[in-house]
Structure formats: structure tokens, C-alpha cells
Amino acid sequence: MASCSVSYLDTSGIRHTVEVEAETLYEAVVLGVQAFREHDCDPGEVRPIDVEMRKSITHTLTLSRVQQWLGDGACRSPKEKVTKERLKALLLTTSSTCQ
């Protein structure tokens, strides 16, 4: 299952969007149309329907791991070096009282 944003633009120029959970593009369209019909905004037979299928990836790491990565001198590219420097500066200038 993927989270999908299903939308269409009506004849008045208003975009209607609904979020559904679907396994396929076609399932997302059918579930989206069903939701639109429940709210009296049926897209009709010929109006183009946009579907954005999202896949979510979650990564978990500790602040100490981030600090270790920032402290590591190795950089794969100049862009990564700039990113590390910016993030180091952000960590030095911010402190949190929540724990």
C-alpha cells in the first residue's frame, strides 16, 4: 500500500485533492473518485485525474551518530563538505533544554 494524492481541476479552475491508500494507480483513481463522489464533486468521465503515489522511508539514528559523521573529515564531494560545515555551525549555535 502506498499513500496517494488524487486530484483534478474542475471547470471553475478549482483543484480538488484527496488522500487515499492504494496498491496500484488504478486503485488510487477508483478510491479517489469514490471519495470525490461522496462530497458531490465527481470529476466526470473525461477530466484528467492526477495521482501522486508516495513511498515513505524512515531512518532512525542518534545525535551522537550525526556528530560522528560531522566530525569525520572525509567528504564525498565539495557539496557534502559545505553541508557538513553548515550543519556543524547550526549545532554549535543551537541548544535545547528539552530531553
Per-residue model confidence (pLDDT) at position 39 = 93
Query: Average pLDDT, stretch 44-71?
Result: 86
51 vs 8: CA distance, rounded Å: 9
Residue 99 pLDDT more than 70?
no
pTM: 0.58
Other CB atoms closer than 10 Å to residue 88's CB: what's the count? 13
Is residue 90 exposed (0-12), middle (13-18) or buried (19+ Cβ within 10 Å)?
Answer: exposed
The three three-digit cell numbers of residue 3, written as one number: 499513500
Contact 34, 40 (CB under 8 A): no
Location of C-alpha cell 487515499: 20
Per-residue model confidence (pLDDT) at position 97 = 52
Residue 26 pLDDT more than 70?
yes
Mean pLDDT value across the chain: 88
